[in-house]
A = this chain, B = another copy of it.
């Protein structure tokens, strides 16, 4: 029986508490002025426990990565036939976008603190690159040419990031709407009228 105030020993529960505590503290004092000991204390745990769950102070905000990766590669694999590479990617993003949209109370402050903290932004970019590689691999399995797959995945990710940022900053439309817009812009890139005259 669980006594009031006691700390649950379930690993998953501890993880969640650590993530929540870290996000709160990073927002309150900033990432640099938050110690791992403080995070652990707020979660009612020992500092050492923090490092048993997360390899470092940044990783605590990048936990859902493998879920998102799995969802994305699966969405690419199951997309309908007959799509161009970029449309394949758009299809996949639209299919998993609900993961972010449905978890906005956590996703929004998370993206905010990442955007304003260089150390976290670095980690975010690394995760994005690794995720883009996974998408590229999924594209290759669908028959997209080797060199094109990597470029398409990274390009698609730039569009996704662009959309997610607008979703946080503007927040007048749904993430899905921003996604569609970003991929429209992407296609427009190769068709744009020369920039010549506008420059004067």
- Residues of A participating in the B interface, judged by any CB pair closer than 8 Å: 81-86, 88, 118, 121-123, 125-126, 129, 139, 141-145, 147-148, 150-152, 154-155, 158-159, 161-162, 181-182, 185-199
Tell whether, in the assembled complex, residue B84 and residue A194 are in contact, meaning their CB atoms are under 8 Å apart.
yes
Given the interface pairs A82-B196, A142-B195, A194-B82, the reply to whether A158 lies near B154 with Cβ below 8 Å is yes
Q: Which listed residue (B81, B125, B139, B197) contacts A196, Cβ 8 A? A: B81
Q: Which listed residue (B84, B86, B158, B182) contacts A158, Cβ 8 A? A: B158
Smallest CB separation, A175 vs chain B (Å):
16
Number of copies of this protein chain within its complex = 2
Tell whether, in the assembled complex, residue A195 and residue B83 are in contact, meaning their CB atoms are under 8 Å apart.
yes
Bound form: Cα–Cα A27–B190 in Å: 41
Bound form: Cα–Cα A182–B147 in Å: 8
Tell whether, in the assembled complex, residue A84 and residue B148 are in contact, meaning their CB atoms are under 8 Å apart.
no
Q: Which listed residue (B122, B185, B196) contacts A151, Cβ 8 A? A: B185
Smallest CB separation, A52 vs chain B (Å):
20
What are 20 A-B interface contacts by the 8 Å CB criterion?
Answer: A81-B195, A84-B189, A84-B190, A84-B193, A84-B194, A121-B126, A121-B129, A122-B122, A122-B125, A125-B125, A142-B199, A144-B192, A144-B198, A147-B182, A151-B158, A151-B182, A151-B186, A154-B162, A155-B158, A189-B190
Contacts of A187 in B (CB 8 A): 190
Tell whether, in the assembled complex, residue B84 and residue A143 are in contact, meaning their CB atoms are under 8 Å apart.
no
Bound form: Cα–Cα A76–B172 in Å: 33
